[in-house]
Amino acid sequence: MSATATPLAAYAGYKHFITSSPSAGVVHVEINRADKLNAFHEGMWRELGAVFNQLSRDSDVRAIVLSGAGDRAFTAGLDVKAAAEEGSILGGKANLDTARKAARFRRSIEDFQACISAIEKCEKPVICAMHGICLGLAIDIACCADVRLAARDARFAVKEVDIGMAADIGTLSRLPKIVGSASWVKDVCLTARDFNAAEALAQGFVSKVLDDKKAVLAEAFKLAAFISEKSPVAVQGTKELLNHARDHTVEDSLRYTGIWNSAALQTKDLQDALLSNLQRRKPTFEKL
């Protein structure tokens, strides 16, 4: 957390995430388990979902930066040892029949998916600032973000096949829609091989590579602050419509956009933005 950041009292109850405000309208969410390379256990992913659900409804928040504490990792992914002890990998009670064990698995996976998807469903734009080790669940999380930035030392891998499973929290659904090469997606997902920040940039997984963690955070905060000055009606509507367009036909998306904007265009923000442009002044917009 930046030494100049203001801790947010409303988020002080979360154990595994440090939530602060480096500037007006911008929130920094930091994964806070650096001694374990920010690896996730069940309590952490449940908190992550709760944090982003709360941020989504918080009218003081206009843009979010997500990063990992410490110098070594954004996140090493799932803490496999903790998951095995919790039973979320091995299925819990061994005396259950196959159907009942499968039902428990399905519910657990759906809960896990929903908590990570809270980043994508958050109404506010989310900028993922990655450095160091970025494995497994790191890719699931990053795929849910709106903008991905990386430090030059970032090392990525879709690691699940190396622990005997197919990735099930979102990478296999989202990554093919983020990058343009199905061949590359299958390459990294089937092999679980590492790829570096330069390769991630070349394939379009990240939009910019910076020298180190300090630089990537500075760029993320700068971008978040710039976005936070825009109309929240326009910004949040744009995120919603882009996500809808990704998963629907052009015709469906155009219809949804028309319905959305039939309400959104009635905002005072539109008039304020137009007038400020004519008057050559910087507009300010009310909370949403």
269: domain CATH number?
Answer: 1.10.12.10
Low-confidence ranges of the chain (pLDDT < 70): 1-6, 87-94
Asked whether residue 90 falls in the same domain as residue 221, the answer is yes
pLDDT at 272: 85
Q: What is the CATH number of the domain that holds 168?
A: 3.90.226.10
For residues 253 and 255, what is the distance between their CA atoms, to the nearest angstrom? 5
pLDDT at 100: 87
Shared domain check, 197 and 135? yes
Overall residue count recorded for the chain in this entry: 288
Q: Is residue 124 in some structural domain?
A: yes
Query: What is the pLDDT, as a whole number, of residue 89?
Result: 60
Burial 271-280 (b: 16+ CB within 10 A, else e): eebeeeeeee
Give the pLDDT of residue 2. Answer: 47
- Does residue 112 contact residue 169 with C-beta atoms inside 8 Å? yes
> What integer pLDDT is reported at residue 87 of this predicted model?
64
Q: Tell me the pLDDT of the chain averaged across its residues.
A: 93
Structural domain count of the chain: 2
pLDDT tens sequence across 111-130: 999 999 999 999 999 999 99
Whether 186 and 148 share a structural domain: yes
pLDDT of residue 9: 94
Range of the domain at 57: 6-228
Q: Answer yes or no: is 119 within a domain.
A: yes
Q: Is residue 287 part of a domain?
A: no
Same domain for 201 and 270?
A: no
Any residues with CB less than 8 A from the CB of 53 and at least 6 apart, and which?
A: 118, 122
Residue-wise pLDDT tens digits, 143-172: 999 999 999 999 999 999 998 999 999 999
| 198 & 241 share domain | no
Tell me: do 182 and 248 sit in the same domain.
Answer: no
Same domain, 174 and 52: yes
Same domain, 158 and 263: no
162, part of any domain? yes
Taking alpha carbons only, the member of 206, 172, 169 closest to residue 40 is 169
Q: Is residue 286 part of a domain?
A: no
Instruction: Give the HSE-up count for residue 173: Cα atoms under 13 Å, Cβ half-sphere.
Output: 12
Which tokens hold the place of 188?
């990294």
Is the same domain home to 239 and 222?
no
**Do 218 and 100 reside in the same domain of the chain?**
yes
Residue 140: its H or E element: helix 137-144
Whether 218 and 226 have beta carbons less than 8 Å apart is answered as no
272 in any annotated domain = yes
